Amino acid sequence: MTESIKMKHNSAATITPHLSKFNGGLTLDAYKSLSTTKPIADMEPCKQYIVPLQQHIGVISQPMVKVGDRVLKGQMLARPGDLLSAAVHAPVSGTVTDIAQHEVPHISGLSDLCVFIENDFKDEWQERQPLGAEYNHKNSSDLRKIIRDSGIVGLGGATFPSSVKQTETDVNTLLLNGVECEPYITCDDMLMRERAGEIISGADIIGHIIKARRCIIAIEDNKPEAIAAMQSAIDQDGTGFFSIQVIPTKYPSGGEKQLIQIITGKEVPKGHYPVELGILCHNVATAYTVHRAIHHAEPLISRIVTVTGHGVKKPQNIEVLIGTPMQACIEHCGGYTENSDELIMGGPMMGFSLNTDALPVVKASNCLLVTAKEDNPHKEKHMPCIRCGKCVEVCPVRLLPQQLYWYASSHNVDRLQEHNLFDCIECGCCAYVCPSDIPLVQYYRHAKTLIWQQERERRASDISRERHEAHQRRLEKIKQEREEKLRKKRELLKKKADDAAASDSENGKSKSDTDNKRAVIAEAIARAQAKKAERNKNKEAE
Ligand code: SF4
Ligand code: SF4
């Protein structure tokens, strides 16, 4: 812990001791114990890894390797494409066998550019120089660069580049999110139980970067083992920087704005960010990866994945290398049961259905949920909205879900934006309670995609118009420069002719000599003009 932070720990607390409630929400069956009976397991290495270059919210990362290259474990395969993009790294040592489109686990079901690596099973790391306790002597920007180069993104689901978040200033409180409120998912719970010390270490580094005065670790009251493990790690730390806030189990209390409201009693206003309240929120798994990056010089090449549900034989949490085919994870957990039904990435509320398991695990893959047929009673086509208002009651963001549904089904983009579609956190509470079984979140996701697409097209058309205008300006400039050159040349020739005439007359040369010279110069001018006319003609023809 740095000296500056230790001093700040003594400052007065600004967090209110009592807990508040957020609007709406649900109490759901948790099904957590399905996957918490066994410790986190390691996976056997696979023959091939498929690493997508788009695993974050920004633009696609730029490849730094080519087919045939030998890569070492942890080597950067692609650098960030923009500020909101993140680097991706080789999960194993081996050979790049292809860089091609492949289906990725995304809500769109579309393909994306991926690097294919054939494992050489040598597990040969690139050269690593861990900072260790030295990080205390590094400034924030050096540490942020390491975190950026390590490809670390928020592992709570947002996949927002962590180093960007950590540029915030005026942060009073680091809020570590260990809530994990969605049913079935237990990867953060197990991480806290088994690797509490490393989480505390990572949070300490983040605290150093953002110069936070305190770190509150929020954990739901249905995770007593995690609470005990984290408390023990805090006691060992002994700096007073950390404290645990146990909160009641309610969905979606793990949402960033909902959690802040529970703990501080303050609502982050629409269109504003938690940092405006002096709070920066990070997931516990993100803090763990920061620890690995600083103390072991390991980029983000693996994560804990909960493989669970009644459709998989041995539900369990496993540490999985990014790029591992999902079917290998399912096989590791005993394979599918006979009555398995749907494969979902994420939980039952916010996750999305996958139509194949031949997809790679990505940084956002917190859970592979395999449902059984009895979990999904066959539903007929949904019924019309009866305006019962139940969706409004449970919406934690105080939106009007039924209105959003109307506008989404009629593609009324303006009204959707007026009704704050983009504030929807896709928690699924509205769809869960809807008596007409309307898949409301699917409508919202589709509408958001549509609006993003329109925005992208508008930007692309602006860019193309600007490019055309710039091209025209360049042509005009070239034309003017050519004309200016010719004008100067003509002036020079005329001056030469005049000088020659003056000299002839001074030297008493005959008029016919002078006339001859003038004729030669006139011919030269005529030739230059003819060339210019020819050039203009060619240009027009182009
Ligand atoms: S819960 Fe369903 S039926 Fe009721 S108002 Fe909302 S969308 Fe309509
Ligand atoms: S999915 Fe969106 S609209 Fe529905 S309850 Fe959640 S935040 Fe509200």
Q: Is 425 in the pocket of ligand 2 (CB under 6 A)?
A: yes
* Domain-located, residue 167: yes
pTM: 0.81
What Å distances lie between residue 98 and 48, 104, 360, 538, CA to CA? 11, 15, 15, 45
Question: Within a 13 Å sphere around the CA of 103, how many CA atoms are in the beta-carbon half?
Answer: 12
Residues 227 and 224: their CA atoms lie apart, in Å, by 5
For the CA of 390, the closest atom of ligand 1 is 1
Q: CA-CA distance, 415 to 418, in Å (whole number)?
A: 5
**Averaged pLDDT of the chain:** 89
Beta strand 214-220 with 76-79: parallel, antiparallel or unpaired? unpaired
Task: Please give the pLDDT value at position 2.
Answer: 35
Q: In this structure, which amino acid lies at residue 115? A: V
- pLDDT above 50 (res 281): yes
Residue 303 bridge partners (DSSP): 320
Q: What confidence score (pLDDT) does residue 524 get?
A: 81
Task: With respect to residue 61, please indicate whether it lies within any of the assigned structural domains.
Answer: no
Bin 184: left if φ > 0, else alpha if -120 < ψ < 50, else beta: left
Residue 254 lies in a domain: yes
Q: Which two tokens stand for residue 446?
A: 């589709």
Domain ends where: 272, 297, 322?
297
Report if residue 420 sits inside a domain: yes
Between 109-113, 115-119, 173-177, 182-186, the lowest mean confidence (pLDDT) is in: 109-113
DSSP annotation of 376 reads S
Please, is 94 exposed, middle or buried when counting C-beta atoms within 10 Å of its C-beta (0-12, 13-18, 19+)?
Answer: buried
* Rg of the chain taking only CA atoms, in angstroms: 32
- Counting the structural domains of the chain, the total is 2
Ligand 2 test: best mutation among 26, 253, 350, 399, most atoms within 8 Å of CB? Answer: 399
Of the listed ranges 53-62, 272-281, 333-342, 522-531, the least confidently predicted one is 522-531
Domain match, 396 and 268 both:
no
Instruction: Report which ligand 2 atom has the smallest distance to the Cα of 429.
Output: 5
Residue 151 in tokens? 């490809």
Say which CATH number the domain at 197 has: 3.40.50.11540
Read off the tokens for 272: 């504003």
Task: Find the range with the poorest average confidence among 229-233, 236-240, 355-359, 490-494.
Answer: 490-494
Encode 312-324 in three state secondary structure: ECCCEEEEEECCC
Take atom 3 of ligand 2 and give the residue whose Cα is closest: 401
Domain that holds residue 258: 155-297
Question: For residue 436, with 0-12 CB atoms within 10 Å meaning exposed, 13-18 middle and 19 or more buried, which class applies?
Answer: middle
Instruction: Report which protein residue has its CA nearest ligand 1's atom 7.
Output: 402
Residues 385 and 494 placed together within one structural domain of the fold: yes
Residue 242 alpha carbon to ligand 1 centre in Å: 43
Q: How far is the CA of 428 from the centre of ligand 1 (A)?
A: 13
Task: Locate 46 and state its tokens.
Answer: 């696979």
With beta carbons less than 8 A apart as the criterion, state whether 173 and 280 touch.
yes
Ligand 2 nearest-atom number relative to CA 252 = 6
The residues, ordered by sequence, that sit 6+ positions from 188 with a Cβ below 8 Å of its Cβ are 156, 178, 180, 226, 283, 284, 285, 304, 366
Q: Which of 297, 329, 348 is the last residue of a domain?
A: 297
191 and 292 both lie in a single domain = yes
Nearest CA to ligand 2 atom 1: 426
Domain presence at residue 191? yes
Judge whether 333 lies within some domain. Answer: no
Alpha-carbon distance of 121 to 310, in angstroms, equals 33
Joined together, the tokens standing for residue 490 give 């003509």
